[in-house]
Amino acid sequence: MWVYAESFTNQVAAGESVVDSPNRYVRVDGPSPLALLGGGYAVLYPAMPILTNGTGDNRVQQIVDDAQAAIDALVESGVTARDKCAVGGDSYGATTAVLLLAHSSLFKAGIARSGAYNRTLTPFGFQTEVRNLWEEMEVYLALSPFMAADHIAAPLLLIHGEGDRNVATSPEQSKRMYEALAGLGKTVRLVLLPFEGHAYTARESIMDVAAEMLDWLNTYVK
């Protein structure tokens, strides 16, 4: 399940369906998780709407509920079994994936690429959150999987470009998440890609990322 939580301010907007053309070709660009199809995995990009309407908006529980609903649908349709699901994501999707590992037992393994895991390091807003850390510390801490590292049981693969200049996703985010999990005795691996930024472009990097992800899932899921 390749996740990315989308924020909305009302239920009407969150409930709107997006209709795409059934005739569109599927393209596997760059380090796409669709490369995992060749390894025998089904890849789902689930709808993950969350309502962000102020203090106590319970975003983490909404993310967990979205993931649970997606897994229920997959199991009911016969695509997978409940004990064969993994979660991954890029950037804010990576943060979402690690939050799911920290606050649920839905997944056997996780993959997080170029994410931000400690929101106190981005104190002046992130995504659609415009309040700063000191105005809404509860939200910042709740959306920091680093703070719940001791609750993560599933093996986690962290990947990050060493040259990531995105202010929210410095490589230090992955390094500190790795150090926390390793210090707690968790199963974790950190892969740093030389000369890569927030997105990965070199052929060597793309091939390495695909190999790392496939090996991780074969080891801890299949």
CA angle in degrees (0–180, nearest 5) for 115-108-157: 35
Instruction: With beta carbons less than 8 A apart as the criterion, state whether 30 and 201 touch.
Output: yes
Cβ neighbours for 66, distance < 8 A, ≥ 6 positions apart: 5, 46, 47, 48, 49, 50
| The pLDDT of residue 210 | 96
- Given the residues 103, 164, 174, 205, select the one marked as catalytic: 164
Q: What is the pLDDT of residue 19?
A: 64
Q: pLDDT tens digit string along 115-152?
A: 999 999 999 988 878 889 998 898 899 999 999 999 99
CB contact at 8 A, 189 and 158: yes
pLDDT above 70: residue 18 = no
Indicate the range of 19-33, 137-151, 174-188, 190-204 predicted with least confidence. Answer: 19-33
Is residue 36 predicted with pLDDT exceeding 90? yes
Segment 104-116, tens digit of pLDDT: 999 999 999 999 9
pLDDT for residue 141 = 93
Within 10 A of 76 (CB to CB), how many other CB atoms are there?
A: 8
Helix axes 59-76, 92-103, angle to 10 degrees: 80
The whole-angstrom separation of Cα 201 and Cα 27 is 16
Give 54's pLDDT tier (boundaries 50, 70, 90). Answer: low
Q: DSSP string covering 122-140, please?
A: STT-BTTB-S-TTT-HHHH
Task: Give me the catalytic one of 32, 65, 170, 198.
Answer: 198
Q: Can you give the pLDDT at residue 21? A: 79
> At which residue do the structure tokens 């890569």 appear?
196
pLDDT beyond 80 at 170:
yes
Confidence of residue 22 (pLDDT cuts 50, 70, 90): confident
pLDDT for residue 117:
97
The Cα–Cα gap between 170 and 73 comes to 36
Return phi, psi of residue 181, to 5°: -70, -40
105 catalytically annotated:
no
Please, are residues 6 and 48 in contact by the beta-carbon 8 Å criterion? yes
Instruction: Kindly report the average pLDDT of the chain as a whole number.
Output: 92
**pTM of full prediction above 0.85:** yes
* Per-residue pLDDT, 9: 76
Of the residues 57, 66, 90, 91, only one is catalytic, namely 91
In this structure, are residues 88 and 97 in contact, taking their beta carbons and an 8 Å threshold?
yes
Whether pLDDT at 39 is above 70:
yes
Rounded Cα gap, residues 48 and 26, in angstroms: 21
Q: Is 180 helix (H, G, I), strand (E, B) or coil?
A: helix
- Going 85 to 159 to 48 to 146, the CA torsion angle's sign is positive
The CATH class, in words, for 33-45+83-220 is: alpha beta
Task: Write out pLDDT tens, residues 73-91.
Answer: 999 999 999 999 999 999 9
Expressed in angstroms, the distance from the first to the final Cα of the chain is 15
If one compares 222 and 180, the residue with the highest pLDDT of the two is 180
91 is catalytic: yes
